[in-house]
Structures are given as C-alpha cells and as structure tokens.
C-alpha cells in the first residue's frame, strides 16, 4: 500500500530535508522574529538555496518542478517551526511563483521566475483592498490602457511580503485590477515591480495578533505605470487565474494548520508525560487524556483529507473547489483548537513563550481568516454541493 503522506521516495526525501532545515534553522529564530515583528530575509533566501521557493515551478525557469503534495509537505514541515515565516514563504512560492508559472507567458516566466526561485527577489500577490476582502470582485483598483502602458490607481491592503522591512517594498507583485469598462466579474492581473513610477509602500501593519514573522503592508498605486507586456494573459482573464490559484493556496494554508497542530500535540504530549500532579503524571488524568487523544485524531483526519486532496489536484486547471475549501475549513479551526488544548494542558507554562504553543495559537487564528474566511468556505461548499446527488 502506498504512503498517502509520502507517495514516493522523492517526497520522503523532501520531507526529511525540510524537517531537518526547520528544526535546525527555522525554529531557533522563531520566537525572536515573532517578538520583533521581523521578516528574516536571510533565512528566506536559504529556502532558495534548497530549491523550495519555486517548488512547483518548472526547472527551466529555476524551479523544482514538483507537485501539490510536495508543496503540502514543505508547508506542513516549516509551519511546525514558525508559521509566520511559512506564511511569507507561501505568499512568495504559491501566490506569486506558482501563479505566474501557471498563468504567465514564457517571456514573463523567464524574466521573473529565476530570481523568485533563487530568493534574489521577494515577491507576493495583491488582491485584498481596504474595502474588498472576501468580496474580491468588489475591488476598486482600476487600470486604464494608455499607449504601450497601463496606468493603475488604487490601494491594496493586508499584503504579505508587501514590505521587506519597515521602509522597503517587496520586489515584485501580481496585482489584480479591473480595466476601465470591464464588467464586475472580469478582472485582469499585472506584474508590478518595485521602482515602477507611482508604486509605493503605504503603511506597514504593526501589532498583529499573530503571524508576526511575516510582514503585512498596504501598497499604493498612484498613476502607476505598468508596461503592457506585464499584463498576465488577456484582459479580463484574471478571474480564472484567481480560481486556479486559490485551490493550491487553500490546500497549502491547510498544510500550515497541520504543522501547527502536530507541533502542539508533540509539546503537550511531552509535557503531560514529564509533569506530575498529585504524585502522578498529568497524562494519567482523564481530562488530559481527552485533550491529547482528541487532538491527535483530529490532526490525522485533517492530514488525510489534505494529502488526499493534494494528490488529486492539477495545478493548471481548477476543479477541486469543494475539497480545497473543505480542507481549509476543517484544518484551520482544528489547528487553532489543538493549540488551545495544548495551552490548557500546560497551564501557566502554555501562556508564555517558552513552550511555543501560545505563539502557535496566535498564528493559527489567521488561518480562519486569510485565504478565505470560514464563512466563505461554507458558502462555496454549499454552492458546489447544490447539484450533487451522490458525494462519491
């Protein structure tokens, strides 16, 4: 019987590589990066050296050419050490690199992906706006064709990797906008680089509950000039681009929840074994047994669902909307609940940074919001199931 979680020797080797890197290099810096609200750019570039930044990008453009299961493995293993850092990785590798790999032209791929895959450039994607989050088709960023350029006006909010530091923009972004005269359901996507006239960093968001090791920023477009060749696909194509990429985004976000849950279970299991109360180990008490056993069962259920969904995905075509929403709906709350139980098992020690679970709990909450809210997943899934008589 094949291993659902490591379907090939290549997947198994990848897991060993990423787990070793996460334990050796990512975990030791996680608490400090969270406390300082600092994106560790040097460590991020190490992911490029390991071939992880373009994990699903073709090798001819500098990537590893791997599949969705490989992407899930990388996100689960990294998130077990530092979910905030992993979110920056996801925004770069999935929302920019994979998006451009699937939807861009060969000329665009050749120009932008090698530097993205190496880590020379830090990239991201701009969709959400101050007044348009879940209702993405309500975005207001507008593009007007003027000769050999498009001129963009608007603002994007909550952009991961929008700022590399307090004052420095990220290097390149895929930006969703509506071309003047296009209907609501037709969006277009542009590659916008740092240094383009009219493109600037607004505010860097400080004081986030969690995911503090990744930067979140507002990006502003004021008569921003974008060369016509930086339009990805044709005008109005980007709604389909978005649907294609949302599926792998949600599955890798689910994988992050798996990493959070696994680490939380390991921490509470070890603590319950070592800590005694009333002259016996904590794990001998029924209440503690419930927290540990229920957490493990939920983690394994979410893990099986996530890896099954990833194993059936095609990166170049939508078609897994029901289950990409489903895995994120289930695992995002599962990860938060497991981290919460870990805090309860550790008591006062769970409430401080020493055992990491308070940071994991704070980070986990974002996964119920970002990349699609719980409510959006529920709506999408019910819509998909509306005409389904047999589920399997």
Residues annotated as part of the active site: 249
Tokens standing for 92? Answer: 């770069």
Tokens standing for 94? Answer: 């999935």
Which one-letter DSSP state was computed for residue 140? -
3-state secondary structure 98-130: HHHHHHCCHHHHHHHHHHHHHCCCCEEEECCEC
**How would DSSP label each residue in 58-77?**
-GGGTS----HHHHHHHHHH
Q: Tell me the CA end-to-end span of the chain in Å, nearest whole number.
A: 22
State the Cα–Cα distance between residues 366 and 257, nearest whole angstrom: 10
**How would DSSP label each residue in 290-314?**
HHHHHHHHHHHHHHHHHHHHHHT--
State the Cα–Cα distance between residues 8 and 3, nearest whole angstrom: 8
**How would DSSP label each residue in 367-381?**
TTTTTS-HHHHHHHH
Q: Other CB atoms closer than 10 Å to residue 120's CB: what's the count? A: 13
Tokens standing for 375? Answer: 């409510």
Q: Are 229 and 274 in contact (CB under 8 A)?
A: no
The helix or strand, by DSSP H or E, that contains position 224, with its residue range, turns out to be: strand 216-227
Using alpha carbons, select from 146, 155, 141, 165 the residue that is nearest to residue 200. 155
């Amino acid at each position: 019987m094949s291993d659902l979680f490591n379907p090939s020797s290549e997947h198994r080797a990848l897991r060993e590589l990423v787990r070793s890197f996460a334990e050796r290099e990512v975990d030791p810096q996680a608490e400090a990066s969270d406390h300082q609200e600092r994106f560790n750019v040097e460590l991020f570039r190490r992911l490029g050296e390991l071939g992880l930044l373009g994990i699903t990008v073709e090798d001819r453009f500098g990537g590893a050419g791997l599949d969705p299961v490989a992407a899930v493995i990388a996100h689960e293993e990294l998130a077990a050490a530092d979910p905030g850092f992993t979110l920056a990785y996801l925004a770069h590798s999935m929302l920019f690199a994979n998006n451009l790999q699937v939807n861009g032209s060969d000329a665009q791929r050749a120009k932008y992906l090698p530097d993205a895959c190496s880590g020379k450039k830090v990239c991201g994607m701009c969709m959400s706006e101050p007044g348009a989050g879940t209702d993405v088709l309500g975005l207001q960023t507008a593009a007007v064709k003027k000769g050999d350029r498009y001129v963009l006006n608007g603002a994007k909010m909550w952009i991961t990797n929008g700022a590399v530091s307090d004052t420095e923009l990220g290097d390149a972004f895929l930006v969703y906008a509506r071309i003047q005269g296009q209907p609501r359901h037709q969006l277009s996507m542009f590659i916008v680089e740092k240094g383009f006239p009219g493109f600037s960093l607004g505010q860097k968001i400080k004081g986030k509950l969690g995911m503090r090791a990744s930067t979140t920023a507002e990006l502003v477009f004021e008569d921003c000039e974008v060369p016509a060749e930086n339009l990805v696909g044709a005008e109005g194509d980007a709604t389909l681009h978005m649907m294609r990429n949302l599926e792998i985004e949600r599955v890798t976000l689910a994988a992050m929840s798996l990493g959070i849950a696994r680490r939380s279970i390991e921490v509470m299991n070890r603590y319950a074994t070592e800590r005694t109360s009333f002259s016996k180990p904590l794990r001998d008490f029924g209440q503690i047994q419930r927290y540990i056993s229920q957490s493990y069962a939920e983690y394994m259920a979410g893990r099986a669902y996530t890896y099954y969904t990833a194993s059936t995905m095609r990166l170049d075509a939508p078609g897994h909307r029901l289950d990409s929403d489903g895995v994120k709906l289930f695992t995002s709350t599962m990860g938060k609940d497991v981290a919460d139980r870990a805090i309860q098992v550790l008591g006062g020690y769970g409430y401080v940074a020493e055992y990491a679970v308070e940071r994991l709990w704070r980070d986990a909450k974002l996964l119920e919001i970002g990349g699609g809210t719980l409510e959006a997943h529920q709506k999408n899934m019910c819509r998909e199931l509306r005409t389904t008589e047999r589920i399997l």
